[in-house]
Amino acid sequence: AGRMLDKLLAYRMFADARGRMNRSVADVGGGVLLVSQFTLSADTRRGLRPGFANAMGPDAAQALYDYTLRELCARHSPVAAGVFGADMQVSLTNDGPVTFMLEL
């Protein structure tokens, strides 16, 4: 989780004065919204229903989420967070169409 936070906070995805993606969320003073979303681990390769056999168990996932939130709050501000495991209505506005999936 620590390496992912390092990458997230330093990832240059915001435009500089020339319009190039050269600035990080830390550089622009942007906020971070942390929301748990286990459906991203869904296996959709077969059948007509998502499979979640590869998802982390709820206790381990909760511990990872809590750790990640604590670390994120210690390293960056502002941070907003969802409630782990809760049904939530989350809205956002994409500035783009730009979406990245960060991997280690």
The structure's pTM equals: 0.84
- Residue 39 designated active-site: yes
Residue-by-residue DSSP string for 21-76: EEE-HHHHT--EEE---GGGG-B-SSSSS-B-TTSPPHHHHHHHHHHHHHHHHHH-
DSSP state of 15: E
- Domains of the chain, earliest start first: 2-43+50-81 (3.50.80.10)
- Residue 38 designated active-site: yes
pLDDT value of residue 47: 95
pLDDT value of residue 53: 92
- Residue 37 designated active-site: yes
Q: How far apart are CA 13 and CA 88, in angstroms?
A: 26
Q: Which amino acid is at 41?
A: S
Q: How far apart are CA 25 and CA 56, in angstroms?
A: 28
Q: Determine contact, residues 34/81, Cβ cutoff 8 Å.
A: yes
Catalytic residue of the set 37, 89, 93, 99: 37
Catalytic residue of the set 39, 44, 93, 99: 39
pLDDT in tens, the chain (104 residues): 899 999 999 999 999 999 999 999 999 999 999 999 888 889 999 999 999 998 999 999 999 999 999 999 999 999 999 999 999 998 888 877 788 888 88
